[in-house]
A and B are shown apart, each in its own frame.
Chain A
Protein backbone atom coordinates (compact mmCIF):
# COMPACT_ATOMS: atom_id res chain seq x y z
CA UNK A 1 0.00 0.00 0.00
CA UNK A 2 1.26 3.46 -0.84
CA UNK A 3 1.48 5.81 2.08
CA UNK A 4 2.54 8.72 -0.07
CA UNK A 5 2.07 9.32 -3.72
CA UNK A 6 3.12 12.52 -5.43
CA UNK A 7 2.26 12.92 -9.11
CA UNK A 8 3.67 15.37 -11.66
CA UNK A 9 4.79 17.87 -9.04
CA UNK A 10 5.78 21.27 -10.36
CA UNK A 11 7.15 24.04 -8.21
CA UNK A 12 8.74 27.37 -9.10
CA UNK A 13 10.27 30.12 -7.02
CA UNK A 14 9.61 33.19 -9.11
CA UNK A 15 11.06 32.50 -12.52
CA UNK A 16 13.10 29.45 -11.61
CA UNK A 17 11.40 26.09 -11.90
CA UNK A 18 12.81 24.00 -9.06
CA UNK A 19 10.70 20.85 -9.45
CA UNK A 20 9.84 19.81 -12.98
CA UNK A 21 7.16 17.16 -13.20
CA UNK A 22 8.37 14.93 -10.39
CA UNK A 23 6.48 11.79 -9.42
CA UNK A 24 7.25 9.67 -6.43
CA UNK A 25 5.50 7.09 -4.34
CA UNK A 26 6.41 5.53 -1.06
CA UNK A 27 4.96 2.26 0.08
CA UNK A 28 4.63 1.06 3.65
CA UNK A 29 7.83 -0.07 5.33
CA UNK A 30 9.99 1.26 2.52
CA UNK A 31 13.08 3.42 3.01
CA UNK A 32 13.72 5.85 0.18
CA UNK A 33 17.00 7.72 -0.09
CA UNK A 34 17.05 10.91 -2.13
CA UNK A 35 20.47 11.92 -3.39
CA UNK A 36 21.70 14.60 -5.75
CA UNK A 37 23.85 17.69 -6.04
CA UNK A 38 23.24 20.92 -4.16
CA UNK A 39 20.38 22.93 -5.58
CA UNK A 40 18.79 19.97 -7.34
CA UNK A 41 15.53 20.44 -5.44
CA UNK A 42 15.74 17.70 -2.78
CA UNK A 43 14.76 19.93 0.13
CA UNK A 44 12.06 21.57 -1.93
CA UNK A 45 10.60 18.16 -2.73
CA UNK A 46 10.49 17.30 0.98
CA UNK A 47 9.05 20.68 1.87
CA UNK A 48 6.30 20.22 -0.70
CA UNK A 49 5.56 16.73 0.61
CA UNK A 50 5.33 18.05 4.18
CA UNK A 51 3.12 20.97 3.13
CA UNK A 52 5.69 23.61 4.09
CA UNK A 53 5.67 24.80 0.48
CA UNK A 54 2.71 24.86 -1.86
CA UNK A 55 3.09 23.15 -5.20
CA UNK A 56 2.09 24.87 -8.45
CA UNK A 57 0.91 21.75 -10.22
CA UNK A 58 0.42 18.06 -9.58
CA UNK A 59 -1.15 16.03 -6.82
CA UNK A 60 -0.23 14.78 -3.38
CA UNK A 61 -1.97 11.88 -1.66
CA UNK A 62 -1.42 10.35 1.75
CA UNK A 63 -3.17 6.98 2.15
CA UNK A 64 -6.73 7.70 1.03
CA UNK A 65 -6.50 11.42 1.63
CA UNK A 66 -6.01 13.88 -1.17
CA UNK A 67 -3.90 16.80 0.09
CA UNK A 68 -3.66 18.47 -3.32
CA UNK A 69 -4.99 17.62 -6.75
CA UNK A 70 -4.47 18.88 -10.24
CA UNK A 71 -7.32 21.04 -11.50
CA UNK A 72 -7.19 23.07 -14.73
CA UNK A 73 -3.45 22.64 -14.83
CA UNK A 74 -2.97 23.94 -11.29
CA UNK A 75 -2.72 22.36 -7.89
CA UNK A 76 -5.71 22.75 -5.64
CA UNK A 77 -5.30 22.02 -1.94
CA UNK A 78 -7.84 20.30 0.28
CA UNK A 79 -9.66 22.05 3.13
CA UNK A 80 -7.77 22.94 6.32
CA UNK A 81 -9.59 20.15 8.14
CA UNK A 82 -8.34 17.55 5.65
CA UNK A 83 -4.82 19.01 5.68
CA UNK A 84 -4.81 18.71 9.44
CA UNK A 85 -5.48 14.98 9.13
CA UNK A 86 -2.87 14.74 6.41
CA UNK A 87 -0.26 16.34 8.66
CA UNK A 88 -0.87 13.65 11.24
CA UNK A 89 0.44 11.10 8.69
CA UNK A 90 4.01 12.28 8.64
CA UNK A 91 6.84 13.67 10.72
CA UNK A 92 9.81 15.71 9.56
CA UNK A 93 13.33 15.84 10.94
CA UNK A 94 15.23 18.97 9.94
CA UNK A 95 18.90 19.41 9.17
CA UNK A 96 19.22 21.93 12.01
CA UNK A 97 16.88 20.09 14.43
CA UNK A 98 14.56 23.03 15.16
CA UNK A 99 13.86 21.90 18.69
CA UNK A 100 11.97 24.36 20.87
CA UNK A 101 14.78 25.87 22.98
CA UNK A 102 12.52 27.04 25.81
CA UNK A 103 11.04 23.57 26.36
CA UNK A 104 12.83 20.80 28.21
CA UNK A 105 13.68 17.69 26.22
CA UNK A 106 10.67 15.93 27.74
CA UNK A 107 8.32 18.77 26.89
CA UNK A 108 9.67 18.94 23.34
CA UNK A 109 8.58 15.34 22.94
CA UNK A 110 5.26 15.51 24.84
CA UNK A 111 3.89 18.93 23.94
CA UNK A 112 2.41 18.05 20.55
CA UNK A 113 0.99 14.68 21.66
CA UNK A 114 -0.77 16.44 24.54
CA UNK A 115 -1.90 19.66 22.88
CA UNK A 116 -2.30 18.58 19.27
CA UNK A 117 -3.20 14.91 19.48
CA UNK A 118 -5.11 15.34 22.75
CA UNK A 119 -3.41 12.54 24.66
CA UNK A 120 -3.24 12.62 28.44
CA UNK A 121 -0.10 13.99 30.03
CA UNK A 122 0.64 10.75 31.85
CA UNK A 123 0.35 8.70 28.69
CA UNK A 124 2.40 11.16 26.63
CA UNK A 125 5.17 11.30 29.22
CA UNK A 126 5.29 7.57 29.56
CA UNK A 127 5.62 7.19 25.82
CA UNK A 128 8.18 9.99 25.62
CA UNK A 129 10.36 8.25 28.19
CA UNK A 130 10.22 5.04 26.19
CA UNK A 131 11.23 6.94 23.05
CA UNK A 132 14.03 8.79 24.82
CA UNK A 133 15.35 5.50 26.15
CA UNK A 134 15.40 4.12 22.63
CA UNK A 135 17.36 7.19 21.57
CA UNK A 136 19.77 6.64 24.47
CA UNK A 137 18.70 9.91 26.08
CA UNK A 138 16.62 8.88 29.08
CA UNK A 139 18.79 10.83 31.49
CA UNK A 140 18.40 14.00 29.40
CA UNK A 141 14.65 14.36 29.85
CA UNK A 142 15.02 17.43 32.06
CA UNK A 143 17.74 19.13 30.03
CA UNK A 144 17.20 21.99 27.59
CA UNK A 145 18.17 21.63 23.92
CA UNK A 146 20.95 24.20 24.31
CA UNK A 147 22.66 21.94 26.81
CA UNK A 148 22.87 19.01 24.37
CA UNK A 149 25.31 18.11 21.62
CA UNK A 150 24.10 18.31 18.04
CA UNK A 151 23.78 14.54 17.83
CA UNK A 152 21.72 14.45 21.01
CA UNK A 153 19.52 17.28 19.76
CA UNK A 154 18.89 15.46 16.52
CA UNK A 155 17.91 12.31 18.41
CA UNK A 156 15.47 14.36 20.50
CA UNK A 157 14.07 15.74 17.24
CA UNK A 158 13.57 12.19 15.99
CA UNK A 159 11.84 11.26 19.26
CA UNK A 160 9.65 14.34 18.95
CA UNK A 161 8.58 13.32 15.45
CA UNK A 162 7.98 9.70 16.47
CA UNK A 163 5.89 10.73 19.47
CA UNK A 164 3.08 11.77 17.13
CA UNK A 165 2.92 8.19 15.80
CA UNK A 166 3.30 9.21 12.17
CA UNK A 167 2.84 6.74 9.34
CA UNK A 168 6.09 7.93 7.83
CA UNK A 169 9.09 10.13 8.54
CA UNK A 170 10.97 12.56 6.34
CA UNK A 171 14.60 13.47 7.02
CA UNK A 172 16.32 16.38 5.31
CA UNK A 173 20.06 15.79 5.61
CA UNK A 174 19.72 14.83 9.27
CA UNK A 175 23.47 14.62 9.83
CA UNK A 176 24.80 17.46 7.69
CA UNK A 177 25.12 19.80 10.65
CA UNK A 178 27.00 17.21 12.71
CA UNK A 179 30.61 16.15 13.28
CA UNK A 180 31.51 12.66 12.04
CA UNK A 181 31.34 11.07 15.52
CA UNK A 182 27.92 12.56 16.15
CA UNK A 183 26.77 11.55 12.68
CA UNK A 184 27.30 7.90 13.52
CA UNK A 185 25.01 7.96 16.55
CA UNK A 186 22.18 9.55 14.60
CA UNK A 187 22.57 7.19 11.65
CA UNK A 188 22.47 4.27 14.06
CA UNK A 189 19.10 5.43 15.34
CA UNK A 190 17.71 5.84 11.83
CA UNK A 191 19.02 2.43 10.89
CA UNK A 192 17.26 0.90 13.88
CA UNK A 193 14.03 2.53 12.69
CA UNK A 194 14.57 1.04 9.24
CA UNK A 195 14.95 -2.39 10.81
CA UNK A 196 11.60 -1.87 12.53
CA UNK A 197 10.12 -1.17 9.11
CA UNK A 198 9.44 2.51 9.69
CA UNK A 199 8.53 4.14 6.38
CA UNK A 200 11.08 6.85 5.66
CA UNK A 201 12.24 9.26 2.99
CA UNK A 202 15.77 10.45 3.66
CA UNK A 203 17.68 13.16 1.83
CA UNK A 204 21.32 12.36 2.44
CA UNK A 205 24.87 12.77 1.23
CA UNK A 206 25.98 9.67 3.16
CA UNK A 207 26.28 7.11 0.37
CA UNK A 208 27.41 4.27 2.62
CA UNK A 209 24.39 4.83 4.77
CA UNK A 210 22.03 5.02 1.78
CA UNK A 211 23.49 1.78 0.42
CA UNK A 212 22.90 0.13 3.76
CA UNK A 213 19.37 1.19 4.69
CA UNK A 214 17.62 2.23 1.49
CA UNK A 215 15.25 -0.02 -0.39
CA UNK A 216 14.88 2.60 -3.06
CA UNK A 217 17.27 5.31 -4.21
CA UNK A 218 16.28 8.40 -6.15
CA UNK A 219 18.88 10.53 -7.86
CA UNK A 220 17.74 14.10 -8.54
CA UNK A 221 19.38 16.77 -10.62
CA UNK A 222 18.06 20.06 -11.92
CA UNK A 223 14.57 19.49 -10.57
CA UNK A 224 14.00 16.10 -12.20
CA UNK A 225 14.51 12.50 -11.17
CA UNK A 226 17.39 11.42 -13.36
CA UNK A 227 17.57 7.86 -12.17
CA UNK A 228 15.96 5.64 -9.57
CA UNK A 229 16.09 2.03 -8.49
CA UNK A 230 17.44 -0.26 -5.82
CA UNK A 231 20.48 0.69 -3.75
CA UNK A 232 22.67 -0.96 -6.42
CA UNK A 233 22.35 2.15 -8.58
CA UNK A 234 24.78 3.83 -6.19
CA UNK A 235 27.47 1.42 -7.33
CA UNK A 236 26.25 0.90 -10.87
CA UNK A 237 24.63 4.08 -12.09
CA UNK A 238 23.25 3.92 -15.62
CA UNK A 239 23.08 7.66 -16.18
CA UNK A 240 26.06 9.82 -16.92
CA UNK A 241 24.89 12.57 -14.55
CA UNK A 242 24.54 10.13 -11.66
CA UNK A 243 27.99 8.79 -12.33
CA UNK A 244 29.48 12.28 -12.42
CA UNK A 245 27.82 13.20 -9.12
CA UNK A 246 28.94 10.03 -7.35
CA UNK A 247 32.49 10.39 -8.64
CA UNK A 248 32.67 13.94 -7.38
CA UNK A 249 31.34 12.88 -3.99
CA UNK A 250 34.01 10.21 -3.61
CA UNK A 251 36.82 12.72 -4.01
Chain B
Protein backbone atom coordinates (compact mmCIF):
# COMPACT_ATOMS: atom_id res chain seq x y z
CA UNK B 1 0.00 0.00 0.00
CA UNK B 2 1.52 3.27 -1.01
CA UNK B 3 1.39 6.52 0.90
CA UNK B 4 -1.10 8.23 -1.40
CA UNK B 5 -3.71 5.50 -1.00
CA UNK B 6 -3.19 5.52 2.72
CA UNK B 7 -3.54 9.27 3.03
CA UNK B 8 -6.64 9.14 0.83
CA UNK B 9 -8.10 6.54 3.14
CA UNK B 10 -7.25 8.63 6.17
CA UNK B 11 -8.62 11.82 4.65
CA UNK B 12 -12.21 11.02 5.60
CA UNK B 13 -11.05 10.43 9.18
CA UNK B 14 -9.31 13.77 9.26
CA UNK B 15 -12.51 15.49 8.17
CA UNK B 16 -14.37 13.79 10.98
CA UNK B 17 -11.72 14.74 13.56
CA UNK B 18 -11.96 18.35 12.43
CA UNK B 19 -15.75 18.19 12.62
CA UNK B 20 -15.64 16.82 16.17
CA UNK B 21 -13.21 19.57 17.08
CA UNK B 22 -15.29 22.50 15.87
CA UNK B 23 -18.66 21.14 16.96
CA UNK B 24 -17.21 20.60 20.44
CA UNK B 25 -15.93 24.18 20.63
CA UNK B 26 -19.20 25.50 19.26
CA UNK B 27 -21.08 23.75 22.04
CA UNK B 28 -18.62 23.82 24.92
CA UNK B 29 -17.47 27.44 24.75
CA UNK B 30 -20.97 28.91 25.32
CA UNK B 31 -22.16 26.04 27.54
CA UNK B 32 -19.12 26.59 29.74
CA UNK B 33 -20.30 30.13 30.41
CA UNK B 34 -23.69 28.85 31.57
CA UNK B 35 -21.97 26.27 33.76
CA UNK B 36 -19.73 29.00 35.21
CA UNK B 37 -22.82 31.06 36.08
CA UNK B 38 -24.30 28.03 37.79
CA UNK B 39 -21.07 27.45 39.67
CA UNK B 40 -21.06 31.07 40.88
CA UNK B 41 -24.80 31.11 41.61
CA UNK B 42 -26.02 32.24 45.00
CA UNK B 43 -28.65 29.50 44.84
CA UNK B 44 -26.86 26.94 46.97
CA UNK B 45 -28.38 23.70 45.54
CA UNK B 46 -27.65 24.81 41.98
CA UNK B 47 -24.12 25.79 42.92
CA UNK B 48 -23.49 22.42 44.58
CA UNK B 49 -25.02 20.44 41.72
CA UNK B 50 -22.84 22.25 39.19
CA UNK B 51 -19.79 21.81 41.41
CA UNK B 52 -20.48 18.06 41.49
CA UNK B 53 -20.94 17.93 37.72
CA UNK B 54 -17.61 19.70 37.21
CA UNK B 55 -15.77 17.42 39.60
CA UNK B 56 -17.13 14.29 37.87
CA UNK B 57 -16.21 15.62 34.43
CA UNK B 58 -12.70 16.48 35.54
CA UNK B 59 -12.25 13.49 37.81
CA UNK B 60 -13.07 10.65 35.44
CA UNK B 61 -11.51 9.67 32.10
CA UNK B 62 -13.05 11.27 29.05
CA UNK B 63 -12.91 7.85 27.38
CA UNK B 64 -15.14 6.44 30.08
CA UNK B 65 -17.54 9.37 29.74
CA UNK B 66 -17.82 8.75 26.00
CA UNK B 67 -18.70 5.12 26.66
CA UNK B 68 -21.32 6.07 29.23
CA UNK B 69 -22.90 8.57 26.85
CA UNK B 70 -22.87 6.04 24.01
CA UNK B 71 -23.91 2.83 25.79
CA UNK B 72 -25.71 4.38 28.76
CA UNK B 73 -29.08 5.13 27.18
CA UNK B 74 -29.54 1.54 26.09
CA UNK B 75 -27.90 -0.40 28.93
CA UNK B 76 -29.17 1.83 31.72
CA UNK B 77 -32.57 2.91 30.45
CA UNK B 78 -33.33 0.50 27.61
CA UNK B 79 -33.69 3.39 25.20
CA UNK B 80 -32.90 2.10 21.71
CA UNK B 81 -30.31 4.28 20.00
CA UNK B 82 -30.22 4.54 16.22
CA UNK B 83 -27.19 4.18 13.99
CA UNK B 84 -26.60 7.92 13.88
CA UNK B 85 -26.20 8.00 17.62
CA UNK B 86 -22.52 7.08 17.60
CA UNK B 87 -21.56 10.47 16.20
CA UNK B 88 -24.02 12.31 18.46
CA UNK B 89 -22.57 10.50 21.48
CA UNK B 90 -19.07 11.63 20.57
CA UNK B 91 -20.18 15.26 20.28
CA UNK B 92 -22.31 15.19 23.44
CA UNK B 93 -19.52 13.52 25.40
CA UNK B 94 -16.91 16.01 24.29
CA UNK B 95 -19.15 19.03 24.84
CA UNK B 96 -20.20 18.18 28.39
CA UNK B 97 -16.60 17.32 29.30
CA UNK B 98 -15.02 20.41 27.81
CA UNK B 99 -17.77 22.72 29.08
CA UNK B 100 -16.67 21.77 32.61
CA UNK B 101 -13.07 22.76 31.94
CA UNK B 102 -14.04 25.98 30.18
CA UNK B 103 -16.43 26.82 33.04
CA UNK B 104 -13.61 26.73 35.56
CA UNK B 105 -11.43 28.88 33.33
CA UNK B 106 -14.25 31.41 32.89
CA UNK B 107 -14.94 31.45 36.62
CA UNK B 108 -11.29 32.15 37.37
CA UNK B 109 -11.31 34.92 34.77
CA UNK B 110 -14.48 36.54 36.05
CA UNK B 111 -13.36 36.40 39.66
CA UNK B 112 -10.00 37.94 38.76
CA UNK B 113 -11.61 41.18 37.56
CA UNK B 114 -11.22 43.75 40.37
CA UNK B 115 -14.52 44.45 42.06
CA UNK B 116 -13.96 48.17 41.49
CA UNK B 117 -14.88 47.58 37.83
CA UNK B 118 -18.36 46.41 38.77
CA UNK B 119 -18.70 49.17 41.34
CA UNK B 120 -17.68 51.89 38.91
CA UNK B 121 -20.23 50.57 36.41
CA UNK B 122 -22.93 50.32 39.07
CA UNK B 123 -22.45 53.93 40.22
CA UNK B 124 -22.57 55.09 36.60
CA UNK B 125 -25.93 53.36 36.27
CA UNK B 126 -25.06 50.43 34.00
CA UNK B 127 -27.53 47.57 34.19
CA UNK B 128 -26.16 44.25 35.38
CA UNK B 129 -26.31 42.54 31.96
CA UNK B 130 -24.64 45.53 30.34
CA UNK B 131 -21.94 45.54 33.01
CA UNK B 132 -21.24 41.89 32.35
CA UNK B 133 -21.30 42.07 28.58
CA UNK B 134 -19.33 45.27 28.03
CA UNK B 135 -17.15 45.64 31.12
CA UNK B 136 -16.48 42.20 32.62
CA UNK B 137 -16.64 39.83 29.64
CA UNK B 138 -14.14 41.62 27.35
CA UNK B 139 -11.60 41.88 30.16
CA UNK B 140 -12.21 38.26 31.11
CA UNK B 141 -11.64 37.06 27.54
CA UNK B 142 -8.25 38.71 27.45
CA UNK B 143 -7.21 37.14 30.74
CA UNK B 144 -8.37 33.61 29.94
CA UNK B 145 -7.02 33.40 26.41
CA UNK B 146 -3.78 31.55 27.30
CA UNK B 147 -5.60 28.97 29.44
CA UNK B 148 -8.28 28.54 26.78
CA UNK B 149 -5.62 28.00 24.12
CA UNK B 150 -4.23 25.20 26.25
CA UNK B 151 -7.58 23.47 26.37
CA UNK B 152 -8.10 23.96 22.64
CA UNK B 153 -4.77 22.28 21.95
CA UNK B 154 -5.58 19.40 24.26
CA UNK B 155 -8.91 18.99 22.49
CA UNK B 156 -7.18 18.42 19.13
CA UNK B 157 -5.40 15.44 20.61
CA UNK B 158 -8.42 14.31 22.63
CA UNK B 159 -10.53 13.90 19.48
CA UNK B 160 -8.62 10.62 19.06
CA UNK B 161 -10.40 9.28 22.15
CA UNK B 162 -13.50 8.82 20.00
CA UNK B 163 -11.90 5.51 19.01
CA UNK B 164 -13.19 4.25 22.40
CA UNK B 165 -16.64 3.95 20.86
CA UNK B 166 -15.29 3.05 17.43
CA UNK B 167 -16.22 6.29 15.76
CA UNK B 168 -14.24 6.37 12.54
CA UNK B 169 -12.27 9.56 13.02
CA UNK B 170 -8.63 9.90 12.11
CA UNK B 171 -7.11 7.82 14.86
CA UNK B 172 -9.58 4.94 14.68
CA UNK B 173 -8.89 4.62 10.95
CA UNK B 174 -5.13 4.83 11.40
CA UNK B 175 -5.25 2.04 13.95
CA UNK B 176 -7.35 -0.12 11.65
CA UNK B 177 -5.06 0.34 8.64
CA UNK B 178 -1.95 -0.18 10.75
CA UNK B 179 -3.09 -3.55 12.05
CA UNK B 180 -4.48 -4.82 8.73
CA UNK B 181 -1.38 -3.82 6.73
CA UNK B 182 1.20 -4.33 9.50
CA UNK B 183 2.74 -0.91 9.06
CA UNK B 184 3.39 2.03 11.37
CA UNK B 185 3.00 4.51 8.52
CA UNK B 186 -0.63 5.47 9.37
CA UNK B 187 0.50 6.51 12.85
CA UNK B 188 3.18 8.73 11.37
CA UNK B 189 0.58 10.36 9.12
CA UNK B 190 -1.75 10.74 12.11
CA UNK B 191 1.03 12.33 14.15
CA UNK B 192 1.77 14.83 11.40
CA UNK B 193 -1.92 15.59 11.06
CA UNK B 194 -2.39 16.36 14.78
CA UNK B 195 0.78 18.39 14.87
CA UNK B 196 -0.17 20.54 11.89
CA UNK B 197 -3.70 20.96 13.21
CA UNK B 198 -2.36 22.17 16.56
CA UNK B 199 0.16 24.39 14.91
CA UNK B 200 -2.71 26.18 13.16
CA UNK B 201 -4.75 26.40 16.36
CA UNK B 202 -1.81 27.91 18.22
CA UNK B 203 -1.18 30.33 15.38
CA UNK B 204 -4.77 31.56 15.30
CA UNK B 205 -4.90 31.93 19.08
CA UNK B 206 -1.67 33.86 19.10
CA UNK B 207 -3.21 36.27 16.59
CA UNK B 208 -6.21 36.65 18.88
CA UNK B 209 -3.94 37.46 21.83
CA UNK B 210 -2.14 40.05 19.75
CA UNK B 211 -5.42 41.66 18.76
CA UNK B 212 -6.37 41.99 22.41
CA UNK B 213 -3.05 43.46 23.42
CA UNK B 214 -4.11 46.99 22.50
CA UNK B 215 -4.52 47.77 26.21
CA UNK B 216 -2.16 47.20 29.14
B-contact bits for A45-58, CB 8 A (1 contact / 0 none)? 00000111000000
Main secondary structure of the interface of B (DSSP, over half): helix
What is the distance, in angstroms, from B192's C-beta to the closest C-beta of chain A? Answer: 39
The number of inter-chain residue pairs (CB within 8 angstroms) is 59
Indicate if the CB atoms of A94 and B120 lie closer than 8 Å: yes
CB proximity to B under 8 Å, residues A166-202:
none
How distant is B123 from chain A, measured CB to nearest CB, in Å? 5
B214 within 8 Å of A (CB atoms): yes
Asked whether, in the complex, the Cβ of B123 is within 8 Å of the Cβ of A87, the reply is: yes
Interface residues on chain B, number (Cβ under 8 Å):
20
Tell me the complex Cα distance, A116–B124, Å.
8
Q: Are A112 and B116 in contact (CB under 8 A)?
A: no
Distance of A80 from chain B, by nearest CB (Å): 10
Which partner residue on chain A sits nearest B123 by CB separation? A92
Q: Does A98 count as interface, using CB distance less than 8 angstroms?
A: yes
* Interface set, chain A 101-138, CB cutoff 8 A to B: 101-102, 111-112, 115-117
B119 within 8 A of A: yes
Contact call B138/A102, Cβ cutoff below 8 A: yes
Contact present for B120 and A144 (CB under 8 Å): no
CB pair A160–B216 under 8 Å, yes or no, is no
Write out the residue numbers on chain A whose beta carbons fall within 8 Å of the beta carbon of B6.
Answer: none
| Distance A115 CA – B135 CA, assembled complex (angstroms) | 13
**A102-B215, A115-B130 given as contacts; is B117 within 8 A of A84 (CB)?**
no
Cα–Cα, bound, A98→B142 (Å): 18
Residues of chain A whose beta carbon lies under 8 Å from any beta carbon of chain B: 50-52, 84, 87-88, 90-92, 94, 96, 98-102, 111-112, 115-117, 144-146, 160-161, 164
**What are some 17 contacts across the A-B interface (CB < 8 A)?**
A51-B122, A52-B119, A52-B123, A87-B122, A87-B123, A94-B120, A99-B120, A100-B120, A101-B139, A102-B138, A102-B215, A112-B124, A112-B125, A116-B124, A116-B126, A117-B125, A161-B124
